[in-house]
Copies of this chain bind each other. A is one copy, B any other.
Amino acid sequence: MIKVGIVGYGNLGKGVSFALQKASDLECVGVFTRRDVSTVNPVTDLNVYHISELEKFKGKIDVLILCGGSATDLPNNTANVLKDFCTVDSFDTHAKIPEYFAKLDEVAKANKTLCAISIGWDPGVFSIMRSLFGSVLPCGNDYTFWGKGVSQGHSDAIRRIDGVENAIQYTVPKQEALSAVRSGANPNLTTREKHLRECYVAVKEGADKELIEKSIKEMPNYFADYDTIVNFVSAEEVAQMQKSLPHGGFVIRSGNTTENNSHVLELSLKLGSNPEFTGSVLVAYSRAIARLSKEGITGALTVYDIPLKYLSPLSNEQLREKLL
C-alpha cells in the first residue's frame, strides 16, 4: 500500500479524499491542517492532525498531496515540506512555473526527495495534450478554451466591489470560435472572441446596480477585454450556484501534414466538479511519485517527465494487453 497524506482541507483536499476512496492501492494516513483540528470534519473517514504534527510522520508517508493555493501556500511552503517528504501539487500560476520548478528541483535533489508540480487538468491533462498534439502534428495551431466553469479569481474580484454581497462568475467558451477552430480554419482569435464572462451578482440593500455593472465590465485584466454579462440575482441564488463547481474546456490542435491533408485533434473535458476531478488527477500522480521515488528518482518532475504506466493501477502487462 502506498501511504499518502493530505495537506490542506478546502475544496481540493476534500476532492482528494473522495478520490482516495477509489484507489485500492493507496491508503490515507491523514489530513494535515493549520486550522483548529476540532473544526475540521472530513468528508470521508480520515484522521485529522494539526500541521505542526507533520514532522512526526517523516518516514511514515510516501507522498504528501499538497492542497493549498498557488498564490501563497505553495510558493511559501512546498520547498520546506519537500525536505522531509515527497509531494504532489497543483501549482497553477503559469508565469511562475519555471522559477517554482527550479527551486523545488534543487531542494528535492539535495534532500533525495521527489515532487510532481502543476498537476491537475490545466496545468495537467491539458498540458499533456498541448505537448502530445504538437509533437504528432508539428505544423499547426493550438487553441485552449476553458469552461463553462466557475472562475474563483473573477468571482472574488466582483465580491471586492462596493455594494456587492456575493457573486459567482462563469467563463464560457464562445460557440462560434469553437466551431471556427474545429472546422480547421486556423483562425486568429482575440481574447474577446474566445470567451464570454457571465456574472451572477447579489447586491446589498440600496446599492447602485448600474454603477456595479459598470465597475465589473470596465475592470482591467479581469473583464475589460471580454464581453461580460451581468445578471443581478438574490443572495440565495448565488449561494445555490456556489454549491456545485463544474468546469472543463477544450484543447484543440488543427494543422496539416501536406497541402491537401489537414487534421483536427481535440480533447474535451466536461467536469461535474472541478475540485473533485483535480483531486482525482493528483491521486493518480501521487501513485506515480511513490513508485518513482522507490526507484531512486529525485528532483522535481512535471507531466512531461512521467511515463503514463506509473499513473495506472494496472500492471505494464495489463496495460499492453487491455488498453494498447
Q: Which residue of B lies closest to A121 (CB)?
A: B136
Is A309 in contact with B305, judged by CB distance below 8 angstroms? Answer: yes
Q: What copy number does this chain have within its complex?
A: 2
Expressed in whole angstroms, the minimum distance between the Cβ of A230 and any Cβ of chain B is 28
Which residues of chain B are near A257, meaning CB under 8 Å? 15, 18-19, 22, 272-273, 276-277, 279-280
Q: How large is the interface on A (under 10, 10 to 19, 20 to 34, 35 or more residues)?
A: 35 or more
Minimum CB–CB distance for A7 against chain B, Å = 20
Q: Tell me whether A127 and B323 are in contact in the complex, defined as CB-CB below 8 angstroms, given that A138-B22, A268-B268, A309-B305 are known contacts.
A: yes
Interface 1/0 per residue, A114-146 and B, CB below 8 Å: 000010000101011011101111110000000
Known: A284-B136, A311-B135. A97 touches B261 (CB 8 A): no
Q: Are A98 and B137 in contact (CB under 8 A)?
A: no
Closest-CB distance, A316 to chain B (whole angstroms): 7
Is there a chain B Cβ closer than 8 Å to A237's Cβ?
no
Q: Report whether A258 and B276 are in contact in the complex, using a CB–CB cutoff of 8 Å.
A: yes
A226 at the interface (CB under 8 A from B): no
The residues of A with any CB-CB pair to B shorter than 8 Å are 15, 18-19, 22-23, 94, 97-98, 101, 118, 123, 125, 127-128, 130-132, 134-139, 184, 244, 256-258, 260-273, 276-277, 279-281, 284, 302-309, 311-314, 316-317, 319-321, 323-324
Q: Which residue of B lies closest to A98 (CB)?
A: B321
A308 contacts B131, CB within 8 Å? Answer: yes
Q: Judging by beta carbons under 8 Å apart, are A273 and B302 in contact?
A: no
Inter-chain contacts of A307 with B (CB < 8 A): 304-307
Q: Are B130 and A323 in contact (CB under 8 A)?
A: yes
